[in-house]
Structure 1
Amino acid sequence: MSRILMVLIAALLITGLPTESILAQNSSPAFDVEQASRAYIDSLQGAELEKSNNYFEGGYWLILWGALIGILADFLILQSRFSARFRDWAERVTARRWLQPGLYALPYVLAGFLLTLPWTIYTSFFREQKYGLMSQDFGSWFGEQMIGIVISLIIFPLLIMAIFAVIRRAPKMWWIWGTGVISIFLFIGMLLGPVFITPLFNEYSDMPEGPMRDKIVAMAAEYDIPAENIYVFDQSKQHKRISANVSGVGPTIRISLNDNLLERTDPEEVEAVMGHELGHYVLGHTWRTILILGLIMAVGLFITARFAPHLIERHGEKWGVRSISDPAVIPILSLILTLYFFAATPALNSLIRINESDADQFGLDTAKQPDGFAKVAMRLSEYRKIEPGPIEEMLFFDHPSGATRVRMAMQWKADNVANPTMITPGDLEKE
Structure 2
Amino acid sequence: MITHSIAAATASGFDVEAATRAYLAMVQGPARARSDAYFEGGYWLLLWGTLLSVLVNWALLHFGWSARWSAWASRRTARPWLRTMLYALPYILATSLLLLPWTIYTDFFREHQYGLSNLGFGGWATQEVTSLIVSLVVGPLILAAIFAVIRRAPRSWWLWGAGVLTAFTAFGALLSPVFIAPLFNDFTPMQQGPLRDQILAMAHAQHIPADNVYVSNASKQSDRVSANVSGLGPTIRITLNDNLLRRVPPEGIKAVMGHEIGHYVLNHIPRLIAAFAAIFLVLFFALWWLSPRLLERHRARWKVEGVADPAVLPLFAAITAVVMLLLTPATKSIIRVNEIEADAFGLDAAREPDGFAAVSMMLGEYRKLEAGPLEEIVFFDHPSGANRVRMAMEWKARHLAELPPEKRAIVRPAPLPPKD
TM-score tier after normalising by the smaller chain length: over 0.9
More off after superposition, 221-230 vs 149-158 = 221-230
Q: Does 1:89 align with 2:72?
A: yes
Is 1:28–1:421's contact at 8 Å kept on the other side of the alignment? no
2:355 maps to which residue? 372
2:86 maps to which residue? 103
Q: Deviation per CA, 1:367-388: give whole Å up to 9, x if none.
A: 0000000001100110011111
1:159 maps to which residue? 142
1:312 maps to which residue? 295
Once residues 316 and 106 of structure 1 are traced to their aligned partners in structure 2, the CA distance between those partners, rounded to angstroms, is 23
Q: Does 1:34 align with 2:17?
A: yes
Find the residue that maps to 2:44 and give its secondary structure: helix
Is 1:375–1:428's contact at 8 Å kept on the other side of the alignment? no
Once residues 134 and 98 of structure 1 are traced to their aligned partners in structure 2, the CA distance between those partners, rounded to angstroms, is 40
Is 1:276–1:359's contact at 8 Å kept on the other side of the alignment? yes
AA matched with 2:106: T
Once residues 141 and 348 of structure 1 are traced to their aligned partners in structure 2, the CA distance between those partners, rounded to angstroms, is 28
Shift of 1:428: 4.1
Q: Does 1:194 align with 2:177?
A: yes
Is 2:166–2:280's contact at 8 Å kept on the other side of the alignment? no
Structure 1 runs of 4+ aligned residues shifted over 6 Å read: none
Q: Does 1:278 align with 2:261?
A: yes
Once residues 389 and 42 of structure 1 are traced to their aligned partners in structure 2, the CA distance between those partners, rounded to angstroms, is 18
More off after superposition, 355-364 vs 316-325 = 316-325
Find the residue that maps to 1:31 and give its secondary structure: coil
Once residues 96 and 229 of structure 1 are traced to their aligned partners in structure 2, the CA distance between those partners, rounded to angstroms, is 46
2:3 maps to which residue? none
Shift of 1:29: 4.1
2:218 maps to which residue? 235
1:135 maps to which residue? 118
Find the partner of 2:39 among 56, 64, 79: 56
Find the partner of 1:121 among 94, 104, 108: 104
Higher relative contact order (CA 8 A, sep 6+): 1
2:413 maps to which residue? 425
Once residues 320 and 258 of structure 1 are traced to their aligned partners in structure 2, the CA distance between those partners, rounded to angstroms, is 50
AA matched with 1:374: A
Is 1:105–1:157's contact at 8 Å kept on the other side of the alignment? yes
Alignment length, in residue pairs? 405
Relative to structure 1, the CA distance from residue 330 to residue 161 in structure 2 (aligned partners, 3 Å threshold; closer, same or farther) is same
Find the residue that maps to 1:382 and give its secondary structure: coil
Shift of 1:98: 1.8
Is 1:229–1:253's contact at 8 Å kept on the other side of the alignment? no
Once residues 309 and 358 of structure 2 are traced to their aligned partners in structure 1, the CA distance between those partners, rounded to angstroms, is 54
Is 2:27–2:415's contact at 8 Å kept on the other side of the alignment? no
Q: Does 1:322 align with 2:305?
A: yes
Once residues 391 and 168 of structure 1 are traced to their aligned partners in structure 2, the CA distance between those partners, rounded to angstroms, is 42
Find the residue that maps to 1:399 and give its secondary structure: coil
Shift of 1:427: 3.9
Find the residue that maps to 1:240 and give its secondary structure: coil
AA matched with 1:263: R
Q: Identity over aligned residues, as a percent?
A: 54
Find the residue that maps to 1:232 and give its secondary structure: strand
TM value normalised by structure 2: 0.95
Unaligned runs of 5+ in 2: 1-9
Q: Deviation per CA, 1:187-246: give whole Å up to 9, x if none.
A: 110111100000000011111110111011100001110122321110000000011111
Find the partner of 2:395 among 396, 400, 412: 412
AA matched with 1:64: L
Once residues 428 and 400 of structure 1 are traced to their aligned partners in structure 2, the CA distance between those partners, rounded to angstroms, is 20
1:205 maps to which residue? 188
AA matched with 1:424: R
Once residues 112 and 211 of structure 2 are traced to their aligned partners in structure 1, the CA distance between those partners, rounded to angstroms, is 37
Find the partner of 2:326 among 340, 343, 350: 343
Unaligned runs of 5+ in 1: 1-26
2:26 maps to which residue? 43
Once residues 42 and 216 of structure 1 are traced to their aligned partners in structure 2, the CA distance between those partners, rounded to angstroms, is 29
